[in-house]
Amino acid sequence: MIEQDPDQELVAAALAAAPPPEVSPSFLARVNARIDSERPGDDAGWLQLADFRTWTLRLVPAAAALALVAALWSGSDSSTTPTSSSPSPAVAQTFTPASAGDWQQDVSGNAMIEAALTGGDRVR
């Protein structure tokens, strides 16, 4: 063992003979005060990190900010570029919700394609 080396033994003995540090007389009282001051909810320690409620509450501001940004962005997008997001009149006429009635089982596929391409009358 390394203790059999005389130099190693000397150093080990010197360290072992080090006087213990002086501890404040109020050490125990301060430990107890800190324990008493801990809230019961703090007992969770690291497990508290896994508490989804904690994370949910902490993420509320970020989620609200993201929602606000998304709302502002979508609002400005639809108001500033109406032509890019609105269908042309012909397409609107063809594919308006009102033409949902066109989706009838007795309408052939070819007739629907023709109506869509020509912008003609609705298929009946």
Partner 1 sequence: MDPDRALVEAAAAGSREAFDELVRRHQAAIVGLARVLTSGRGDAEDLAQEVFVRAWKSLRAFRGDSAFRTWLHRVAINVVRTSQSRTGRLLQMFTATHEEAPDVPSGEEPVDASLARRQMIERALAALPEELRVAVTLRDMQGLDYREIADLLGVPMGTVESRIFRARQRLKPLLAPLLERKE
Candidates 4, 23, 39, 62; binder of partner 1 (CB under 8 A) is 23
Tokens of 21: 């540090």
Asked if 48 is part of the footprint of partner 1 (rule: CB under 8 A), the reply reads no
The owner of tokens 């629907």 is: 112
Asked if 25 is part of the footprint of partner 1 (rule: CB under 8 A), the reply reads no
DSSP-derived secondary structure letter, 25: T
Asked if 51 is part of the footprint of partner 1 (rule: CB under 8 A), the reply reads no
Task: Please give the size of the binding site for partner 1, defined by CB under 8 A.
Answer: 28
Nearer to partner 1, 43 or 106 (CB): 43
C-alpha to C-alpha distances, 36 to 13, 29, 42, 57, 102, nearest whole angstrom: 40, 10, 11, 27, 75
Residues 6+ apart with CB under 8 A from 3: 9, 12
User: Judged by CB under 8 A, which stretch of 26-34, 76-84, 87-95, 116-124 contacts partner 1?
Assistant: 26-34
Asked if 50 is part of the footprint of partner 1 (rule: CB under 8 A), the reply reads no
Candidates 4, 15, 89, 106; binder of partner 1 (CB under 8 A) is 15
Which of positions 63-122 make contact with partner 1 (CB under 8 A)? Answer: none
Smallest distance from the beta carbon of 55 to partner 1, in angstroms? 21
Residues 6+ apart with CB under 8 A from 85: 77, 78
Which of 57, 119, 64 shows the shortest CA–CA distance to 92?
Answer: 119
